[in-house]
């Protein structure tokens, strides 16, 4: 977040068809302490409802509030307090109501011991929840998931010389997981508590004028603790025993996470970077892709039945400055994941206390190439970027043991942006984007049992949504203040200029042996404007 302004007050207010916004910053005590507050609220949900004759099948809504205070304490210490609260919501005509909420607060103390010693000590609290209400097969469901963290961390930086620095520190997090709860407590997944700890040491050194190396080691640990109940399963994934814990640690894992990177500068305009890192992740989340635009989540922290993810990441990049205005980069990467989980076919992710029996463990690999050309200077600026990326999973008991795309497998991502400064008042901009359609497991037919249609699904993620692409254009007028206390800017543009019907979800139904498909799209072509007053 930005720092509050220690010297003068600034305010702004803006409105557009998408949002209302307010911003304020200024000194509490001049040159010593300051505040910053920013508020944003969506507008579409105020005037429209998903029940309005099908004009909009899905209505998005959101708000967020950011607050920050900073103050100097003497000549060596600074104290920062920040707060965030936000909620996103999607409602659809078919009765799905999904809310994501975040509440975060941070207290950070920065101390400058000397010209070579610095430290940051932070206490961070965060609370994330996801609430989903929907109707399926004539029944109403509620699903509540989330995770709450209290994190204490400390970081030190020691400059041995301008070209050699050492960083070290650690943190400890207390997790409270809500894997998934419904209205029926007997059908909910038990809550889980855990501690996550880590310490690290990192050295960033420039060995030669043309060679810089960054290397270090992080040691992490995860401990399931407190009151808990978990099931033991046999080789057929059937529950055979119930275990309980009253107090203390009942499961733990420790991982060593080395990392190293090297930056080779061939000359003033060309450089090459290599990097390797091992990372451990102690939580996973599964999502049911049948609810395309909603998020039916189930959280899986590491526990006696779920191992932490281990990821080995390799990357290489080439960076080249072309003259004074252009910058080109190309980066390739490869990631290999162990202990990745996924759910079996026809798994029930709600009202299922045995949800862990519905998962299987395997590996995942991700690899790709990212290319970008930027123009940073001149009246015309912009960039062209292309990313080729694959994310593929292999789990023996899913998809007949054959490799299949992850839900995050989007092979192609191509974007063009441009900004042109007509004069000191007017700027024009445009962005065109193209991404591959995301993988999905969709019905390919139905059969009837007791007169009820039962869907027949394709192989795991074997079909894709149509490719996503759209063009947005905009123009912006700004008054250039010269010792003025009040000025404003005005912008107008067109979202999705050529009215591309990009689907974010489908609903399938069968009637008299005919399959009906309904496509959901968020916004079609939409002209818009924005006005912002700054004083």
Confirm if 363 and 336 have CB atoms less than 8 A apart.
yes
- Return the pLDDT at 437: 92
CATH ID of 56-534, from 3.30.70.420, 2.60.40.1190, 2.40.50.140, 2.40.170.20: 2.40.170.20
Can you say whether the dihedral through the CA atoms of 440, 444, 447, 452 is positive or negative? positive
What the block records as the tokens of 136 is: 């399926």
Between the alpha carbon of residue 46 and those of residues 20, 52, 261, 340, 352, the distances in Å are 11, 13, 50, 41, 36
- C-beta atoms surrounding 513 within 10 Å: 9
Which long-range contacts (C-beta less than 8 Å, at least 24 apart) are formed by 118-123?
A: 118/156, 118/157, 119/154, 119/155, 119/156, 119/157, 120/154, 120/155, 121/153, 121/154, 121/155, 122/151, 122/152, 122/153, 122/154, 123/150, 123/151, 123/152
Domain boundaries, the chain: 56-534
267: three-class secondary structure by DSSP? coil
pLDDT digits (tens, 9 = 90+) for 376-405: 899 999 999 999 999 999 999 999 899 999
- Return the pLDDT at 294: 61
Give the residues of the chain that fall short of pLDDT 70.
51-56, 136-139, 186, 288-295, 348-351, 481-484, 512-513
- Return the pLDDT at 388: 98
Q: Which residues contact 172 (CB under 8 A, 6 or more apart)?
A: 151, 152, 153, 195, 196, 197, 198
Query: Nearest-CA neighbor of 204 among 255, 265, 157?
Result: 157
Q: DSSP per residue over 62-116, as a string?
A: EEEEEEEEEEEETTTEEEEEEEEEEEEEEEETTS-EEEEEEEEEEEEEEEE-SSS
- Return the pLDDT at 70: 95
Q: How far apart are CA 28 and CA 32, in angstroms?
A: 8
pLDDT digits (tens, 9 = 90+) for 503-516: 887 777 777 667 77
- Return the pLDDT at 23: 94
- Return the pLDDT at 321: 94
């Amino acid at each position: 977040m930005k720092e509050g302004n220690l010297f003068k007050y600034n305010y702004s207010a803006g409105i557009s068809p998408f949002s209302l916004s307010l911003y304020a910053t200024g000194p509490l005590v001049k040159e010593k302490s300051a505040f910053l507050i920013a508020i944003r609220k969506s507008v579409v949900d105020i005037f429209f409802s998903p029940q309005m004759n099908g004009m909009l099948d899905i209505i998005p809504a959101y708000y967020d509030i950011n607050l920050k205070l900073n103050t100097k304490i003497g000549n060596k210490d600074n104290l920062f307090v920040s707060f965030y609260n936000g909620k996103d919501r999607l409602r659809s005509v078919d009765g799905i109501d999904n809310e994501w909420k975040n509440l975060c607060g941070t207290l950070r103390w920065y101390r400058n011991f000397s010209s070579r010693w610095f430290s940051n000590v932070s206490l961070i609290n965060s609370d994330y929840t996801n609430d989903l209400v929907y109707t399926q097969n004539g029944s109403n469901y509620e699903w509540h998931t989330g995770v709450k963290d209290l994190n204490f961390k400390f970081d030190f930086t020691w400059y041995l010389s301008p070209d050699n620095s050492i960083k070290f520190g650690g943190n400890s997090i207390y997790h409270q997981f809500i894997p998934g709860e419904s209205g029926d407590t007997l059908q909910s997944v038990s809550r889980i508590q855990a501690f996550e700890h880590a310490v690290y040491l990192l050295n960033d050194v420039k060995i030669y004028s043309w060679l810089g190396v960054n290397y270090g080691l992080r040691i992490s640990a995860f401990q399931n603790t407190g009151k808990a109940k978990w099931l033991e399963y046999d080789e057929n994934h059937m529950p055979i025993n119930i275990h309980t814990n009253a107090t203390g640690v009942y499961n733990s894992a420790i991982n060593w996470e080395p990392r190293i990177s090297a930056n080779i500068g061939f000359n003033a305009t060309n450089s090459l970077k290599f990097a390797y890192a091992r990372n451990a992740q102690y939580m996973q989340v599964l999502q049911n892709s049948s609810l395309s635009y909603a998020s039916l989540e189930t959280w899986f922290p590491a526990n006696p039945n779920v191992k932490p993810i281990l990821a080995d990441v390799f990357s290489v990049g080439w960076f080249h400055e072309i003259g004074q205005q252009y910058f080109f980069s190309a980066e390739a990467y490869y990631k290999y994941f162990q202990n990745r989980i996924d759910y079996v076919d026809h798994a029930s992710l709600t009202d299922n206390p045995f949800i862990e029996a519905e998962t299987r463990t395997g590996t995942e690999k991700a690899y790709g190439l990212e290319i970008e050309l930027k123009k940073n200077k001149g009246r015309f600026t912009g960039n062209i970027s292309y990313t080729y990326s694959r994310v593929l999973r292999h789990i023996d008991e899913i998809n007949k043991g054959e490799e299949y795309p992850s839900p995050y497998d989007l092979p192609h991502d191509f974007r063009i942006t441009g900004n042109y400064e007509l004069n000191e008042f007017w700027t024009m901009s445009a962005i065109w984007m193209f991404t591959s359609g995301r993988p999905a497991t969709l019905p390919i037919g139905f059969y009837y049992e007791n007169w009820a249609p039962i869907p027949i699904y394709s192989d795991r993620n074997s079909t894709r949504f149509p490719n996503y692409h759209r063009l947005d254009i905009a123009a912006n007028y700004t008054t250039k203040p010269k010792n003025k206390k009040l000025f404003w800017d005005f912008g107008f543009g067109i979202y999705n200029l050529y009215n591309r019907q990009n689907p974010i979800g489908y609903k399938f139904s069968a009637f008299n042996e005919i399959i009906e498909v309904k496509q959901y799209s968020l916004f079609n072509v939409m002209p818009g404007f924005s006005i912002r007053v700054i004083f």
